[in-house]
Chains A and B, each alone.
Chain A
Amino acid sequence: MLNTTMQAAFTRREFVHSGMAVVSTAATIPTFLHQSAYALVDPEDMPLVKDQPGIPQDRILVVVQLSGGNDGLNTVVPYGNPAYYNARPGLALRENQVLPLNGGDGIGLHWQLEPLREMLDEGLASIIQGVGYPNPNRSHFASMDIYHTCQARGGKGLGWLGQLLDQIDPTNGTSLIALSGEAPLAGQGQKTQPIAFENPKLFRWIGSEMHAALEARYQQISRDSVEDPNGIGTLIPQPDNPRSFIRRTAMDAQVASQRINEAVAQGSVTSYPGGQLSEQLRMVGAMIRAGLGTRVFYVGLNGFDTHAGQAGRHANLLRQFSVAMRAFYRELQAIGQDQRVLTLAFSEFGRRVGKNASQGTDHGTAGPMFMFGPMIRSGLLGKHPSLAKLDQGDLIYNVDFRSVYAAVMEKWLKADSRKVLGKTFRPANVLKNV
């Protein structure tokens, strides 16, 4: 549980709110068409968006959620420290299973992270060591909620990305797209609501597939501007009047669905390795290329909860993670969009220093975060958490994750992080001057 000083910093008024999704346009025109500069242009004809440094509207953030609690010690490996081997005999990586890092001083990477090491060498990746928060929570739900909302117990259901977008892009109906399944709590704002789908085919009405005549009628019904018959009063004034709100959303939905499906159908110019994360990032790349105007993409990789038989599963996951990120940035470079895209990868906690009786590890505390993109300070950042000074067998964090969020919000997206985090966190030094 987060301690009381942390709780006192959270202003309650902000978070106990009826949370009405207010749309600013008074007339019933699709907010999507209204906002997006590219809406009337066929994606095929549209020129690739050129990098325009200094214009934050073009900046994109991708968040990668590694779910289950990634074992940081076997990811960013303190192979030079005997305590590492003493704590987990048989599970600790042997020296020939570790990729040493330049200037790493006894720190290396799990051998499956070769693509990540390449990106480190190219200045495209960074590892922030020892990330966590005070009074760590070792419950999946609780700790994940903390990473999503920056509050104990998930606060009142508002997420950091949602609130961030409320600030910088509140009327953009496609400001946040999540591809990992459920809409992330992180994306829930007062006005911002995430679009979530695993497959863009789910982000549309299935009726059209079933009956040719239906699609045309359905589109008409969804896109037409209609007036209520005379005699119907309105209790709630525009623009929140439920009827008009739904009609507007229906219009937005058709436009968004069409553009997203068309964008994703374009595929990629380079090849992706396949796998859960890779497929999601391929779609992200396609949507960026199509110029949808989305500011934040949320993707994920599951399976990190390695209580038993960790070795093989963890290796597989790390491989998937690194090859997918490598492929993603290759694609972004190929389409000239890499300067615009910052990626942040995190897990809800690390794992315990010692191994357990099932050749695995149990829920822990601090762990590494990863960042990608040409705008980051690349390399191995921060200090590896101490293996000598532990908190009941768990690592003690060095970097509060909220200072990393603050850096992303303040420096990359030019937003007021204090409003989102509830108090001031000095932005971690993880980005170049941007």
Chain B
Amino acid sequence: MAISQSLSPLRPDQFGPDQAQHLLNRAGFGGTTDQVAELVEMGLREAVKHLVDYRQVDASSLPKPQADADIIAPLTPEQRQRQAAARRTGNEAEIARFRTLRQQRKADDRRQLEHLQQWWLQRMIESPRPFEEKLVLLWHSHFATNHRTVEDSFLMFKQNLLLRRHANGRFTDLAFGIIRDPAMIRFLDNHANKKQKPNENLARELMELFTLGEGNYTENDIKQGARALTGYSFYDNEFQFMDHEHDKEPKKILGIAGTLNGEDFVRILLKQKACAAFVCYKLYKHFVADIPDQMPRESRSVILQMARSLRATDYRMAPVLKKLFMSRHFYDTAIIGSKIKSPLQLIVGTIRILGTPVRDMSLLIDAAGTMGQTLFNPPSVAGWSGGNTWINTSTLFIRQNLTTYLITGKLPYLDGWTRKQMDYDPTFLTEGLSNRSPETLIDHLTKILIAGPIPAQRRNQLIAFINERDGQIKKDRMIGLLMLITAMPEYQLC
């Protein structure tokens, strides 16, 4: 069966509960039957607009983070003098005091990082603008830096705010912003990129990973780009342009000559056709399908159409995203239920869809980390690969145990858990169903939890599970059923 390559919109009457659920899964973290029904009620155009143009949605009730800008403040000149003197004279006691100070700051910084991770996770769980969080996650992986290297939670937070500010705006603003972002500058050593001794790290990644993709520039372009970025540094959490370190001589990047600086460099990159295509490729991979390097031709066609659109709107992303989320390609049966959930999608989605308690935030952050996705700590500048790389035999068990934990409160290594402690009552999920046959109940619950139709064998196994107890389905059995469904391979997809 041919897969639609069309970016033209679905007919309004084709937008039903299945499509609305798919939209909410991809442009958000999924939701309850009521939330899905609301989107159906709005109709395709309004629903997509509501999700993508999220600034119209009031999010003022979400908690504000506490972020101390001085958590890793540089030493005062006086302190630096004392430290240098101590090292010179071998004053062990003084050296030890500075070490203790450093360790204390590191500990404070770690604590602040944990606080920020939980702030962000809470937003993902509670925000009425879930698409904002999905976008910020994408940009966090795209313009990847990690706390492990940056070692300053406030800088990571500042970067998060930058990504948030332009998440559904113009890609241009993200690109301009990132070359002046202190966390990025530190991560890629651009503070060491000086006229006398250029450092190519930022220039290289800017082209290879942030704008053009491999193969669309030469090594010489990187060298010239590095020169353009000399002097782009930071001090005390703020961007700082070091004029005397900046190379003001003429340069030539991708055929364009001039006394180019960092902003000129970015402008040249954005002019390249490859840039729009690359950005759309990343958007597609994040929201539509985990395609391999050898792209399926349907995906390629859609991405190129998106790129044309993106160039036509001067890199404004909202119109392209709306077009994508209204398109026939997006709602093709080959797309629905075919994308492996990221760890955060799995965790947040389960809470949102089933209304389970959140339980222990720091445990959830750790669990996401064990599954491969620690907030503020992507493994490298290439971000998270996603797709099949989320899944191996270990992470599969962790994922299944995590959803079981959310539903029941039981942790794998905690003995002494009793059923009486089960504080989550899922029977509301089937309230109002007049027909309470096992078949109806199973179809209802699998519809809520699984995108797309499930194989007949699965359905039969679940029905048999209910029939073991004369077809009764009280709280206990429903908990067991939810555990089984969320442990199904198909639950790892959306």
**Residues in B whose Cβ lies below 8 Å from that of A195:** 392-394
**Residues in A whose Cβ lies below 8 Å from that of B290:** 236, 242
**Residues in B whose Cβ lies below 8 Å from that of A197:** 394
Question: How far is it, in angstroms, between the C-alpha of A299 and the C-alpha of B379 when the chains are bound?
Answer: 22
Question: Contacts A16-B214, A242-B290, A356-B92 given: A233-B453 contact, CB under 8 Å?
Answer: no
Question: How far is it, in angstroms, between the C-alpha of A193 and the C-alpha of B394 when the chains are bound?
Answer: 9
Question: Contacts A203-B394, A231-B1 given: A357-B484 contact, CB under 8 Å?
Answer: no
The contact string, 1 if C-beta is below 8 Å from chain B, for chain A 237-274, is 10011110111011011001100000000000000000
Query: A202's contact among B92, B93, B410, B413, by CB below 8 Å, is which?
Result: B413
Contact B396 A242 (CB under 8 A): no
Tell me the minimal C-beta distance from A4 to chain B in angstroms: 10
Contact A235 B296 (CB under 8 A): yes
Indicate whether B385 reaches chain A with its CB closer than 8 angstroms. Answer: yes
Contact A240 B92 (CB under 8 A): no
Question: Contacts A156-B382, A242-B290, A356-B92 given: A235-B335 contact, CB under 8 Å?
Answer: yes
Interface residues of A in 8-44 (CB under 8 A from B): 13, 16-21
Question: How far is it, in angstroms, between the C-alpha of A204 and the C-alpha of B400 when the chains are bound?
Answer: 9
Question: How far is it, in angstroms, between the C-alpha of A332 and the C-alpha of B92 when the chains are bound?
Answer: 47
Question: How far is it, in angstroms, between the C-alpha of A356 and the C-alpha of B85 when the chains are bound?
Answer: 16
Indicate whether A45 reaches chain B with its CB closer than 8 angstroms. Answer: no
**Residues in A whose Cβ lies below 8 Å from that of B396:** 246, 249-250, 253
Question: How far is it, in angstroms, between the C-alpha of A155 and the C-alpha of B381 when the chains are bound?
Answer: 9
**Residues in B whose Cβ lies below 8 Å from that of A13:** 214
The contact string, 1 if C-beta is below 8 Å from chain A, for chain B 388-407, is 11011110110011001000
Name the CB-closest residue of A to B386.
Answer: A18
Contact B388 A240 (CB under 8 A): yes
For chain A, give the interface size range: 35 or more
**Residues in B whose Cβ lies below 8 Å from that of A252:** 393
Tell me the minimal C-beta distance from A152 to chain B in angstroms: 11
Question: How far is it, in angstroms, between the C-alpha of A247 and the C-alpha of B335 when the chains are bound?
Answer: 18
Tell me the minimal C-beta distance from B193 to chain A in angstroms: 14
Query: A235's contact among B291, B340, B389, by CB below 8 Å, is which?
Result: B291
Indicate whether A157 reaches chain B with its CB closer than 8 angstroms. Answer: yes
The contact string, 1 if C-beta is below 8 Å from chain A, for chain B 274-288, is 000000000000000
Contact A242 B96 (CB under 8 A): no
Name the CB-closest residue of B to A214.
Answer: B480
Interface residues of A in 314-346 (CB under 8 A from B): none
Query: B292's contact among A18, A202, A226, by CB below 8 Å, is which?
Result: A18
Name the CB-closest residue of B to A141.
Answer: B148
Indicate whether A206 reaches chain B with its CB closer than 8 angstroms. Answer: yes
Question: How far is it, in angstroms, between the C-alpha of A246 and the C-alpha of B289 when the chains are bound?
Answer: 15
Contact A156 B493 (CB under 8 A): no
Question: How far is it, in angstroms, between the C-alpha of A73 and the C-alpha of B464 when the chains are bound?
Answer: 66
Contact A20 B292 (CB under 8 A): yes
The contact string, 1 if C-beta is below 8 Å from chain B, for chain A 150-163, is 00011111000000
Indicate whether A421 reaches chain B with its CB closer than 8 angstroms. Answer: no
Contact B480 A206 (CB under 8 A): no
Interface residues of A in 355-394 (CB under 8 A from B): 356-358, 362
- 12 A–B pairs (Cβ distance < 8 Å), ordered by A: A20-B385, A197-B394, A202-B413, A207-B480, A210-B483, A221-B487, A231-B1, A233-B3, A242-B339, A243-B489, A246-B492, A249-B393
6 nearest A-B pairs in the assembled complex, by CB-CB distance:
A233-B334, A357-B92, A193-B392, A226-B455, A157-B379, A253-B393
Interface residues of A (CB under 8 A from B): 13, 16-21, 141, 153-157, 173-174, 182-183, 185, 193-197, 199, 201-207, 210-211, 213-214, 217-218, 220-222, 224, 226-229, 231-237, 240-243, 245-247, 249-250, 252-253, 256-257, 307, 356-358, 362
